[in-house]
């Protein structure tokens, strides 16, 4: 079964062709990072316009790269939410037009269903249920993935998402956008115990997250240095200490979720899942308790359309289908993606 995946929820215009939910025939991502970098974050209107310019060339490139035609597809899977509404609208409109013109059925995919499906592209050992930590620029959520379309939310951030915290701290330190990759890199030269930044665990037993206090602590620390020209070693120490605080909380809550539910498999997905310290620490913590840990390769952690096509494969197989009246939704809780 061949699925054309389309993803435009944020600042990547992406299309991919995946065979049987597993074999990536093509995976094209046109990133807008440079466009937004000068503003220090994503400008929704700029993102929508860039998606409009890029969407058809990206889809053509994905089909060409797969050596298949649109009519060879069994399904067109598109991210319908959550995300920036103007950005989502471009992908959904293109998918509808292609579906109408070709007669290939359409399936709307939740962006988080996409992230969690990235693991199926690489591992045929993963079985349901599993604990899912989705960590990205917009999400820090814990789920019990009982089945496809059987998602139970266990916890979520009460303020900033982990990726958002990375991006804000990077902005504060003048490190540019996006912040995750650069902090990850600089932290390697720093001492994670140099500065005692707070770990917010919230009420006893809560699986929710909060990163705004940590962000404020970093801001206060930087202000306290009273210089705009922080020496490189100190920047590295701030990055390493901030990262250690984020990673400690993410790892503890995820392992707690596995303990509470008695589920032995853990999946970490989303852009922040490419973070080297998180990968290392989560793997060590899970394995110390004899749990299995699955994290997609870094290239499949950030937004792409192969993951959307993989989700489309499973959802289409289960009978989920979307009509041409499908509309994107900026807020689309995963738990609301009911069984067909
Ligand atoms: O999943 P994604 O590509 O887009 C969203 O759905 O939000 O995630 C983007 C986020 C950004 O906040 C970026 O700074 C963060 O993922 N990120 C990282 C790393 N690479 C990307 N955060 C920490 N370490 C990284 N290596
Ligand atoms: Zn994402």
pLDDT of res. 305:
98
Q: How far is the CA of 18 from the centre of ligand 1 (A)?
A: 23
- pLDDT digits 0-9 by tens, 275-299: 999 999 999 999 999 999 999 999 9
Q: How far is the CA of 21 from the centre of ligand 1 (A)?
A: 24
CB 20 within 8 Å of CB 313: yes
Residues 6+ apart with CB under 8 A from 336: none
Confidence grade of residue 337 (pLDDT, cut at 50, 70, 90) = confident
Rounded distance between C-alpha atoms, residue 307 and residue 27, angstroms: 9
Say yes or no: CB of residue 137 within 6 Å of ligand 1: yes
Q: How far is the CA of 110 from the centre of ligand 2 (A)?
A: 10
Say yes or no: CB of residue 275 within 6 Å of ligand 1: yes
Say yes or no: CB of residue 163 within 6 Å of ligand 1: yes
pLDDT of res. 50:
97
Q: How far is the CA of 225 from the centre of ligand 2 (A)?
A: 35
Longest dimension (CA), the chain: 63
Rounded distance between C-alpha atoms, residue 45 and residue 40, angstroms: 15
Q: How far is the CA of 77 from the centre of ligand 2 (A)?
A: 16
Residue with more model confidence, 125 or 235 = 235
Rounded distance between C-alpha atoms, residue 21 and residue 1, angstroms: 8
Say yes or no: CB of residue 138 within 6 Å of ligand 1: yes
Q: Is the predicted pLDDT of residue 226 greater than 80, yes or no?
A: yes
- pLDDT digits 0-9 by tens, 133-160: 999 999 999 999 999 889 999 999 999 9
Task: Dump the DSSP string for 256-291.
Answer: HHHHHHT--EEEEESGGGG-HHHHHHHHHHHHHTT-
- The angle subtended at Cα 151 by Cα 147 and Cα 154, nearest 5°, is 130
Rounded distance between C-alpha atoms, residue 176 and residue 250, angstroms: 24
Q: Is the predicted pLDDT of residue 339 greater than 80, yes or no?
A: no
The pick from 12, 165, 183, 272 for probing ligand 1's pocket by mutation, whose C-beta has the most ligand atoms within 8 angstroms, reads: 272
Q: Which residue matches tokens 């889809």?
A: 59
CB 272 within 8 Å of CB 135: yes
Residue nearest atom 18 of ligand 1, based on CA coordinates: 180
Instruction: Return phi, psi of residue 244, to 5°.
Output: -60, -40
How far CA 270 is from CA of 2, 69, 289, 299, in Å, comes to 24, 30, 24, 10
Q: Report the chain's mean pLDDT, rounded to a whole number.
A: 96
């Amino acid at each position: 079964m061949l699925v054309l995946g389309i993803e435009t929820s944020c600042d990547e215009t992406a299309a991919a062709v995946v065979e049987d939910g597993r074999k990536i025939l093509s995976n094209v991502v046109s990133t807008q990072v440079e466009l937004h970098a000068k503003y220090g974050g994503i400008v929704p209107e700029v993102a929508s316009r860039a998606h409009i310019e890029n969407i058809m060339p990206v889809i053509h490139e994905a089909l060409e790269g797969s050596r298949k035609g649109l009519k060879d597809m069994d399904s067109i899977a598109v991210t319908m939410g959550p995300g920036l509404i103007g950005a989502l609208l471009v992908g959904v409109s293109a998918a509808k037009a292609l579906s109408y013109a070709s007669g290939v059925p359409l399936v709307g995919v939740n962006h988080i269903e996409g992230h969690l499906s990235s693991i199926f592209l690489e591992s045929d050992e993963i079985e349901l249920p599993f604990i899912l930590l989705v960590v990205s620029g917009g999400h820090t959520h814990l789920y019990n993935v009982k089945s496809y379309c059987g998602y139970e939310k266990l916890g979520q951030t009460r303020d900033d998402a982990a990726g958002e915290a990375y991006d804000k701290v990077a902005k504060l330190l003048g490190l540019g956008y996006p912040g995750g990759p650069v902090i990850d890199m600089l932290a390697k030269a720093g001492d994670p115990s140099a500065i005692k930044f707070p770990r917010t665990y919230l009420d006893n037993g809560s699986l929710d997250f909060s990163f705004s206090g940590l962000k404020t602590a970093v801001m206060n620390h930087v202000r306290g240095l009273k210089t705009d020209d922080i020496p490189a070693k100190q920047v590295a120490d701030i990055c390493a200490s901030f990262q250690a605080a984020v990673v400690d909380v993410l790892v503890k809550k995820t392992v707690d979720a596995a303990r509470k539910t008695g589920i032995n498999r853990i999946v970490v997905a989303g852009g922040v899942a490419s973070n080297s310290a998180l990968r290392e620490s989560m793997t060590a913590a899970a394995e110390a308790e004899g749990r299995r840990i699955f994290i997609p390769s870094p290239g499949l952690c950030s937004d792409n359309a192969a993951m959307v096509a993989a989700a489309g494969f499973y959802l289409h197989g289960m009978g989920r289908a979307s009509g041409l009246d499908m509309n994107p939704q900026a807020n689309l809780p995963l738990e609301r993606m009911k069984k067909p």
